[in-house]
């Protein structure tokens, strides 16, 4: 288990209380004896802290364990219905809502179409949808510890500001302000790829210290876990690998450059290539169902796979991640792209880096960012939640 700090002041006692709660959350069901053995606390101190958590319903006792003689130990686990977290994923064509309990298990989910309106109107509609979502889930607002919003663009996570979401054409939107004018609980916003890499690490690869999540949708974003921590860089927007240039004579990008990776390896690239070669209009949601009937699509997707691989070579050669996760809507075409990507990576990546990188496809799928933003809300707000009532 992890060490937690022991101190005498009320403040330190409160921190140690939440530290014990986090250990129960991570390792539970766990006994009081196991907590004492792994924290340096006395049995009496553990009992006092656990009693406070039990009295306020943050923790519950579970079935007794087996005994090697003497009393059977009683195990502790988090009370999942004590509090809830709402995750929102705003995408180009959809908005996803997920409700998590305090154990970070999904209790409800909803997908909404994103109607072509002004961003302010979309947010107002979304706020009403969240109210209805909570009502339908029979969750009162005082049981919600926070809401997390994952966005496909550059954000200021401290100010709750969306700088620019190119594929939505949203600029300088004070996302957090809109929600906090209506809801009393805290609001967390984050770039969707950063949220996704945290989701994949926390829920799928909890022991991994170096992960890159490549989110390929209408655009491309990347989230980086470096030495166990989410890497943000000086601007707090590190990971814009979608704008590495892989063809200086390539298509114009919304960022102002030419031949950015996302102009040649995203769903938008597949759509634009298909329209250029056939004269037919198509949207990303139609690509999978038309793959077998439109003869041009297989070759376009094959070219896209090669372009994806070129960008991944650059990521592996520059960052040397232990795990590289390919995620986003492109994973619907895993069968069509995986072999070409694997072949090019094996051929073009520096051998020692390639051999130490596990290349996988997201196990959380389109929901990776919602899992990750839920974890962010939990980490940011659980102390305050406990301090308020315990």
Residue 9: pLDDT over 70: no
Q: Would you state the structure tokens that stand for residue 132, as one six-digit string?
A: 């209805």
Residue 318: pLDDT over 80: yes
Q: What is the pLDDT of residue 39?
A: 83
Characterise 150 by phi-psi region: left (phi > 0), alpha (psi -120 to 50), beta (else). beta
Q: Which residue has the tokens 């038309």?
A: 290
Mean pLDDT of 323-344: 97
In tens, the pLDDT along 114-154 reads 988 899 999 999 999 999 999 999 999 999 999 999 999 99
* SS percent in the chain: helix, strand, coil, step 5: 45, 25, 30
Separation of CA 268 from chain center: 22
Whether omega before 317 lies within 30 degrees of 0, making that bond cis, reads no
How many CA within 13 A on the CB side of residue 54? 13
Q: What distance in Å separates the CA atoms of residue 356 and residue 345, rounded to the nearest whole number?
A: 12
What is each CA distance from 356 to 310, 320, 334, in whole angstroms?
Answer: 18, 8, 22
Q: Which residue has the tokens 């009320």?
A: 10
Mean pLDDT of 36-44: 86
Q: What distance in Å separates the CA atoms of residue 77 and residue 111, rounded to the nearest whole number?
A: 31
Instruction: Calculate helix-pair angle for 297-319, 334-348, nearest 10 degrees.
Output: 40
Within 8 A by CB and 6+ apart from 49, the residues are 16, 17, 20, 41
271/40: higher pLDDT: 271
Bridge partners of 171, per DSSP, are: 164
Q: Would you state the structure tokens that stand for residue 91, as one six-digit string?
A: 């995408």
Within 8 A by CB and 6+ apart from 255, the residues are 166, 243
Q: What distance in Å separates the CA atoms of residue 189 and residue 195, rounded to the nearest whole number?
A: 9
Q: What is the pLDDT of residue 68?
A: 60
- pTM, two decimal places: 0.93
Residue 13: pLDDT over 70: no
Bridge partners of 111, per DSSP, are: 96
Residue 65: pLDDT over 90: no
Q: Would you state the structure tokens that stand for residue 366, as one six-digit string?
A: 């389109």
Q: What distance in Å separates the CA atoms of residue 168 and residue 171, rounded to the nearest whole number?
A: 9
Q: Where are the alpha helices (DSSP H) in the chain?
A: 10-27, 32-39, 43-55, 119-136, 175-180, 192-203, 261-265, 267-278, 287-290, 297-319, 334-348, 351-355, 368-389
Q: What is the pLDDT of residue 42?
A: 87
Find out whether 324 and 358 touch, Cβ atoms under 8 Å. Answer: yes
Q: What distance in Å separates the CA atoms of residue 306 and residue 295, rounded to the nearest whole number?
A: 19
Q: What distance in Å separates the CA atoms of residue 318 and residue 351, rounded to the nearest whole number?
A: 13
- Which DSSP symbol is given to 166? T
Find out whether 355 and 322 touch, Cβ atoms under 8 Å. Answer: no
Any idea how long the chain is?
390
Residue 14: pLDDT over 80: no
């Amino acid at each position: 288990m992890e060490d937690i700090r022991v101190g005498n002041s009320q403040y330190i006692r409160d921190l140690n209380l939440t530290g014990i709660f986090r250990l129960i959350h991570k390792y539970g069901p766990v006994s009081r004896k196991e907590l004492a053995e792994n924290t340096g606390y006395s049995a009496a101190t553990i009992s006092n802290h656990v009693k406070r958590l039990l009295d306020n319903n943050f923790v519950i006792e579970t079935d007794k364990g087996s005994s090697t003689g003497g009393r059977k130990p009683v195990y502790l686990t988090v009370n999942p219905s004590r509090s809830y977290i709402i995750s929102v994923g705003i995408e180009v064509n959809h908005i996803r809502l997920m409700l998590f309990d305090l154990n970070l298990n999904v209790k409800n989910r909803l997908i909404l179409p994103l109607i072509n309106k002004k961003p302010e109107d979309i947010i107002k509609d979304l706020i009403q949808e969240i109210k209805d979502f909570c009502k339908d889930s029979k969750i009162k607002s005082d049981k919600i510890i926070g809401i997390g919003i994952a966005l496909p663009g550059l954000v200021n996570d401290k100010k709750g500001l969306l700088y620019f979401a190119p594929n939505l054409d949203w600029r300088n939107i004070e996302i957090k302000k809109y929600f906090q004018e209506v809801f009393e609980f805290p609001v967390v916003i984050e770039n969707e790829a950063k949220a996704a890499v945290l989701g994949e690490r926390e829920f799928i690869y909890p022991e991994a210290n170096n992960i890159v999540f490549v989110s390929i949708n209408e655009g491309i974003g990347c989230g980086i876990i470096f030495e166990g921590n989410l890497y943000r860089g000086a601007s707090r927007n590190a990971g814009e690998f979608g704008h590495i240039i892989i063809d200086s004579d390539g298509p114009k990008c919304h960022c102002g450059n030419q031949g950015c990776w996302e102009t040649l390896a995203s769903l938008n690239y597949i759509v634009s290539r298909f329209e250029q070669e056939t004269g037919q209009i198509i949207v990303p949601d139609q690509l999978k169902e038309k793959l077998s009937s439109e003869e041009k699509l297989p070759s376009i997707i094959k070219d896209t796979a090669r372009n994806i691989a070129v960008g991944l070579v650059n990521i592996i050669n520059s960052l040397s991640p232990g795990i590289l996760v390919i995620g986003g809507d492109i994973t619907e075409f895993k069968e069509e792209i995986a072999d070409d990507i694997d072949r090019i990576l094996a051929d073009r990546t520096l051998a020692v880096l390639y051999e130490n990188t596990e290349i996988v496809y997201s196990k959380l799928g389109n929901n990776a960012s919602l899992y990750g933003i839920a974890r962010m809300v939990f980490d940011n707000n659980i102390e305050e939640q406990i301090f308020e009532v315990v």
